Amino acid sequence: MTGAAGGGPERPGARASKGSARLVAVIALSGVVVSLMQTLVVPLVPRLPRLLGVPADDASWVVTVTLLAAAVVTPVSGRLGDMYGKRRMLALSLLALVAGSVLCAVSDTLVPVVAGRALQGLATGVIPLGISILRDELPAERVGSAVALVSATLGVGGAVGLPLAAALAQYADWHVLFQVSAGLGLVCLVATVVWVPESPVRSSGRFDVLGALGLAAGLVCLLLPVIKGGTWGWTSATTLGLFAAAAVVLTLWGFAESRIRQPLVDLRTTVSRPVLFTNLASVMVGFAMYAMSLTLPQLLQAPAATGYGLGRSMLEAGLALAPGGLVMMLLSPVSAAVTRRWGARTALLAGAVVIGAGYGAGLLLMSQVWQIVLTAVLISAGVGIAYAAMPALIMASVPATGTGAANGLNALMRSIGTSVSSAVTAAVLAGATTRVGPAEVPAEGAFRATYVVAVAAVVVGIVLTLLIPRPTGTALPRDARSA
């Protein structure tokens, strides 16, 4: 029933539009808050050994455990959402974030802080779950732009969170970081319960417990030496042993998954050309995105006495990089428009090219703060366009009943890219240093080398994107909803 145009009851269409806007806003805010957890403790890293009273190697687990938990949970939460309800898993993920933040906020020792950070990492499934809800709930004409916006939050939260975390760490007690994250998480949790509907699209069957355990074990064995290899030594028995274990476990896991009726990850879909090459390209884009996050802050904070460092404080460095996060958000509609006009494959390709151009500019522009800001904005623009295109490519190639798991796997591929980028970039920067007083800082050539490595990753990503078949229909097929 529709009210009169002049002062009657609000039209159902208008109510639906408001409901859609609230849904997108809640999921986008949740995505920003969850991705903020990745950079939340970055300003604290040099101080963590003193704050927690432990050696630096032990303190590094505060960062490592979040990356591991995020990698393990994304495909698992996606599959659970497909089976038992995406809204339910979204709320549970946010509850884990709140619980982890509260635990860290009241703790002063290593073990509870690491446990809290692991719980924060478990919330990473919010973004792929939210993307799947949008695909199930929104009108066809709004899906592309909404998905692009939420996908871009993977980079936005990290970029915006860095200056926020730096300011809080510099001017307040470090526990305030976790008090703020707990408050933000609680706001998102309440908004999810009130305004996010439960998706009617479900997949049947039992949850693949053994598949989840096998994938978790394989990913831990793979990513742990990638993250800690620089500390343990790349040729140490521990590092090589874990890589070997990862190869064995993941091979056995893949063999088992291909032979059960309802696997955690449908490998038949995963190895199809559109999904496979999109996921591989996602690894490369994730690599290039994180290289910027590690390199540019160090260049900004390097002492001016080096001749190339800009001598900025942690807070100033974070503020210099913040515009990049805003650009990611602002360009998500551009990616959606490109996807509608020319397809998600073209949008991903355009994003990768812009990332490469950003690093190319960075090789020439390193001497002024505004030049670093320009480099960060160009790279962030490319990341925003590319990240926004990936879910469209994935969802065009999987049935609606599997979008949660498929988007979770794609988010995992990005996480693998960032983890590998962290290890490679750290190794490159540590490979050539210069001494300034008592401190050693990366040499100018090391910074340039990270740009070259990132450009190489982008080139590989472009090649992989060109191998993605051109879609025969729309980027986000609506008829698959009822599959």
Tell me the two tokens of residue 426.
Answer: 């750290």
What tokens were used for 292? Answer: 């910027």
Structure tokens at 78: 């996606």
| Backbone phi, psi, residue 465, to 5° | -65, -40
Which is more confident, 277 or 148? Answer: 277
Which pLDDT score, from 0 to 100, does residue 17 have?
A: 65
What is residue 474's predicted lDDT score, i.e. its pLDDT?
42
* C-alpha distance from residue 281 to each of 166, 345, 390, 416 (Å): 32, 11, 9, 12
Look at residues 97, 77, 80, 91 and name the one whose alpha carbon lies nearest to residue 157. 97
Is residue 11 scored above 60 in pLDDT?
no
Return the pLDDT at 285: 92
The domain spans of the chain are: 18-199+264-478, 208-263
Q: How far apart are CA 198 and CA 111, in angstroms?
A: 36
pLDDT at 200: 80
Amino acid at 256: A
pLDDT at 16: 57
The angle at the Cα of 66, spanning 63 to 68, to the nearest 5 degrees, equals: 110
Are 415 and 358 contacting, i.e. CB atoms less than 8 angstroms apart?
no
> 177-191, 253-267, 341-355, 425-439: which has the minimum mean pLDDT?
425-439
| Angstrom distance (rounded) from CA 282 to CA 293 | 17
Tell me the pLDDT tens digit for each residue of 113-132.
999 999 999 998 898 899 88
What is the pLDDT averaged over residues 21-45? Answer: 86
Topology classification of domain 18-199+264-478: Growth Hormone; Chain: A; (1.20.1250)
Q: Which of 146-150, 160-164, 213-217 has the lowest mean pLDDT?
A: 160-164
Q: What is the mean pLDDT of residues 383-387?
A: 88
Amino acid at the residue 167: A
Q: Please count the residues of the chain.
A: 483
- Closest among 289, 335, 273 to 464, alpha carbons compared: 273
Mean pLDDT of 165-189: 89
The 3-class SS string of 348-379 reads HHHHHHHHHHHHHHHHHCCCCHHHHHHHHHHH
Least confident of 168-177, 405-414, 431-440, 456-465: 431-440
Span 309-328, mean pLDDT? 84
Query: What mean pLDDT comes out for the span 432-438?
Result: 78
For 153-169, write each residue's pLDDT tens digit.
766 776 677 777 778 77
How many CA atoms lie within 13 Å of 231's alpha carbon, on the beta-carbon side? Answer: 14
